[in-house]
Amino acid sequence: MLELDGSMGEGGGQILRTALALSAVTGQPFRLRNVRAGRAKPGLARQHLTAVLAAAQVAGAELEGVKLRSRDVTFRPRSIRPGPYRFTTGGAGSATLVLQTILPPLLVASGPSEVVLEGGTHNPFAPPFDFMERTLAPLLRRMGAGLDLVLERPGFYPAGGGRFRTRVRPTGALRPLDLPARGAVVARRARALISALPRHIGERELDTVAALLTIGPEARALIEVDDPVGPGNAVLVEVICEEVTGLFTGFGERGVPAEDVARTAAEQARRWEAAYVGAGPHLADQLLLPLALAGGGAFTTVKPTAHTETNAEVIRRFLDVDVTLDALDGDRWRVAVG
């Protein structure tokens, strides 16, 4: 039984998600105490509870202490079981973070799986669906994964109601990935998602992004959600490069002007472009675990967040791999797994 402390590092839910994924892959049981100790409301929130229950189904695991707001969890996996699954976070809890938990074991399963996930798809505290589809999935496919994601309906905070479908086709061991830089910029695109809100919000966002990043009308799109569950808004900026696509998001909030929402996404994109690194801070978090499963790889990024450093420490506890984070120059860092 591996003993983990949820107060380590940034003390958030990533410790739990990474532990669940690696426990399912390796067969190593673990006990996590002080779940999400670093958060204002510690313990299992609804989306974390969904992630635990989803991982237990995929890994045929025995559970102890698993209930809403529980701060101590024990997870004993048996074997990975591919197949059809459906998981619902309830409300706007992040469905993409549930996928983050169960995707690693499904990528190494003995057969294909199809997973329907319902809840929040565009949530300020988690990677949006578009990031998973356009930034992470292409890199995983480059590593040998068979992976397709389809958004059926966006779901925003606080109503949720989103849904997407993920098809996973294991193709053998993952291959290492080397991402030393983003490569030249090929194109930039911007989209504004509007759910049960006036169109002019999205129009103003697109105008702001276009002015800051020089994006022409042909590369801008305003998308209104059909049959919306509740109000919501996000502006998504894509920077398509030779080696990777950066995806940056601004989320609409009550009382925040549309121009400020758009400026948030545009400034994130400009900082990433200027750094000339392969991975932004969120992609750095997402790539660590696949590289560890592949047995190696490296990428450049900006200064690693506490999230990334904590994730690296959990990986070291489960796998016999070395994860190094080395400063290069300016705000550029190199992260290597091997």
Of 48, 122, 282, 307, the active-site residue reads 307
Closest by Cα among 218, 115, 275 to 284: 275
Closest by Cα among 143, 135, 1 to 73: 1
282 catalytic residue (yes or no) = no
Backbone angles phi, psi at 62, to 5 degrees: -90, 140
Long-range contacts of 305-310 (CB under 8 A, 24+ apart): 305/10, 305/281, 306/9, 306/10, 307/9, 307/10, 307/12, 307/14, 307/281, 308/281, 308/284, 308/335, 309/9, 309/10, 310/8, 310/9, 310/10, 310/11, 310/12, 310/14, 310/15
CA distance 86 to 93: 15
Active-site residue set: 307
